[in-house]
Chains A and B, each alone.
Chain A
């Protein structure tokens, strides 16, 4: 059990200073902008909560938020079950284990803009392997730059390619920590594969699965670079997710007030959902 000791604060101070410098100063800047109006020349006028109201009511924000939730929902729906299936069918010991793990982790170590460029090259009609295969071999009319549906499918498949391995590795870590004796006991009892999964494997994966869902939620909700490089938010606005829209407003149009208000609303939503996952997770930890 951990002992009570207030001096432990000294150990935490360096982290506190570093993160506070990086988090609090910019956060205060954002809060500052969100309640003011500026016409340039560093002149600011008090605006109150008008920007927040304007953003929350704007159809553009609501549409981007809707797309964001749809995207996150879809990738969780695909990546979590797929990750579990792959983890369950992986070998537990032997030469192939590290090879599999390294190959699976590889997509996660590629810079995010390169992931976007790679999928761009991969899906180009006539030139890319996938674009060529779909258009010229299967005869499906596929062009990501013209059709919103194709763009959506490509962005989703790209994220599945990029991040499913995270779920696989987490679940696999849970699975290898199950002692052999559990499986032997199940065999003696004549348990079906389903009940082995339901009563032995799934409970052991519960904590890591919560971490996986938490991480995947956070990262997919904040996703920017990959879809931006791949589609630029297009065609039209069809793949403009929240971050892409935010950067458009903040750095493209330089509308600081609305951008700041949007940032805070955005952050608040991420925080709220993550907090729910986090409480679920730490509740498990304490048992």
Chain B
């Protein structure tokens, strides 16, 4: 039994090494980084973090990212809920084709959409707004949310709906009061995935913004290229982007495994 736990430990160690290195670098001074190799920060410094928290371009990058990610999560889950209910409960003309068509959008390479998205959102005057990025990210998040929620809803027996109607519940009341509490794990997991994919996606977010809604990624690339080789600053900015993800994942820790299986186990 001891021997078996060696594999997960080694695997997690492999996962943590690059993250450790990023965090360690963020506490080093530029001098120390360039002067040679050191496993731990020799002269521990918070300068890199102070630089980020005192520069509006930096911290607005984080705020912008969090704003469009939250908008996207709410929007995606809200429209996906009724659709997933329809797919899990009813057969209707073209349901299978529609479901697959939705999924194809999850398969589309973001690079294909970069330029047309730029033109589309410029033409409706939404370029460089949070709502543009939030809307663009629904392209792959809505299909995913429908897929996950459908999986979770399918495991709720149909008798639940029927009993509620017999008891005199109207559909909206049944959906909010009875159905939603039953699939709250699914809603949490779907929201988690929307958050995750909107948070990590950078190509579209960068293409659709310039100044006002600039995501943290765009700020980072600017620093990497223009300010020379400020590795410590880059590492600190990177470390800060890990934190929101880590917080969100802690909330869904009990559903992670089932969530990744899209409710299909």
Q: Which residues of B contact A242 (CB under 8 A)?
A: 109, 111
Q: Which residues of B contact A77 (CB under 8 A)?
A: none
Q: Is the CB of B260 within 8 A of A170?
A: yes
Complex: A132 Cα to B17 Cα, angstroms: 14
Residue A189 at the chain B interface, CB threshold 8 Å: no
Q: How far is the CB of B177 from chain A (nearest CB, A)?
A: 18
Closest to A125 in B: B37
Complex: A173 Cα to B263 Cα, angstroms: 9
Complex: A211 Cα to B261 Cα, angstroms: 7
Q: Which residues of A contact B102 (CB under 8 A)?
A: 15, 19
> Contacting A86 at CB < 8 Å: which of B7, B196, B250?
B7
Residue A225 at the chain B interface, CB threshold 8 Å: yes
Residue B42 at the chain A interface, CB threshold 8 Å: no
Complex: A111 Cα to B201 Cα, angstroms: 7
Q: Is the CB of A267 within 8 A of B15?
A: no
Q: Is the CB of B107 within 8 A of A14?
A: no
Residue B166 at the chain A interface, CB threshold 8 Å: no
Q: Which residues of B contact A29 (CB under 8 A)?
A: 116, 119-120
Closest to B22 in A: A118
Q: Is the CB of A246 within 8 A of B119?
A: no
Q: Which residues of B contact A26 (CB under 8 A)?
A: 113, 116-117, 120
Residue A56 at the chain B interface, CB threshold 8 Å: no
Q: Which residues of B contact A7 (CB under 8 A)?
A: 92
Q: Is the CB of A267 within 8 A of B112?
A: yes
Quick one: which of B135-177 are within 8 Å of A by CB?
135-136, 138-139, 142-143, 146, 158
Q: What number of A-B contacts does a CB cutoff of 8 Å give?
A: 274
Q: How far is the CB of B37 from chain A (nearest CB, A)?
A: 5
Residue A278 at the chain B interface, CB threshold 8 Å: yes
Complex: A259 Cα to B113 Cα, angstroms: 11
A208 with B265, Cβ < 8 A, contacts A169-B260, A246-B109 known:
yes
- The 8 A CB mask of A1-41 against B (1 = contact, 0 = none) is 11111111101101110110111011101100000000000
Q: Is the CB of A8 within 8 A of B90?
A: yes
Q: Is the interface of B mostly helix, strand, loop or mixed?
A: helix
Q: Which residues of B contact A218 (CB under 8 A)?
A: 106-107
Q: Is the CB of A121 within 8 A of B25?
A: yes
Q: How far is the CB of A89 from chain B (nearest CB, A)?
A: 4
Range of interface residues on B (Cβ < 8 Å) = 35 or more
Quick one: which of A68-108 are within 8 Å of B by CB?
85-86, 89-91, 98, 100-108
Residue A177 at the chain B interface, CB threshold 8 Å: yes
Q: How far is the CB of A6 from chain B (nearest CB, A)?
A: 5
Complex: A9 Cα to B258 Cα, angstroms: 28
Q: Is the CB of A222 within 8 A of B139?
A: no
Q: Is the interface of A mostly helix, strand, loop or mixed?
A: helix
Q: Is the CB of B110 within 8 A of A224?
A: yes
Complex: A7 Cα to B85 Cα, angstroms: 12
Q: Which residues of A contact B187 (CB under 8 A)?
A: none
Residue B63 at the chain A interface, CB threshold 8 Å: no
Complex: A71 Cα to B108 Cα, angstroms: 18
Residue B221 at the chain A interface, CB threshold 8 Å: yes
Residue A63 at the chain B interface, CB threshold 8 Å: no
Quick one: which of A199-240 are within 8 Å of B by CB?
207-208, 211, 218, 221-222, 224-225
Complex: A77 Cα to B22 Cα, angstroms: 28
> Contacting A266 at CB < 8 Å: which of B85, B109, B238, B241?
B109
Residue A113 at the chain B interface, CB threshold 8 Å: yes
Complex: A168 Cα to B260 Cα, angstroms: 10
The 10 A-B residue pairs whose C-beta atoms are closest, nearest first, are A109-B245, A26-B116, A11-B86, A8-B90, A173-B261, A8-B86, A222-B109, A11-B82, A173-B257, A243-B111
Since A1-B158, A9-B93, A91-B8 are in contact, a sample of 9 more A-B pairs with Cβ atoms closer than 8 Å, ordered by chain A residue number, is A3-B89, A6-B92, A19-B105, A22-B105, A23-B105, A102-B256, A112-B202, A170-B261, A278-B100
Task: List residues of chain A with CB under 8 Å of any chain B CB.
Answer: 1-9, 11-12, 14-16, 18-19, 21-23, 25-27, 29-30, 85-86, 89-91, 98, 100-114, 117-119, 121-122, 126-130, 132, 136, 161, 164-166, 168-170, 172-174, 176-177, 207-208, 211, 218, 221-222, 224-225, 242-244, 246-247, 250-251, 256, 259, 263, 266-267, 270-271, 274-275, 278, 285
**20 chain-A/chain-B pairs, Cβ below 8 angstroms:** A1-B158, A4-B92, A11-B82, A18-B135, A26-B116, A89-B4, A89-B6, A102-B249, A102-B250, A103-B16, A109-B245, A109-B246, A111-B217, A161-B18, A207-B264, A208-B261, A222-B110, A224-B109, A242-B111, A251-B115
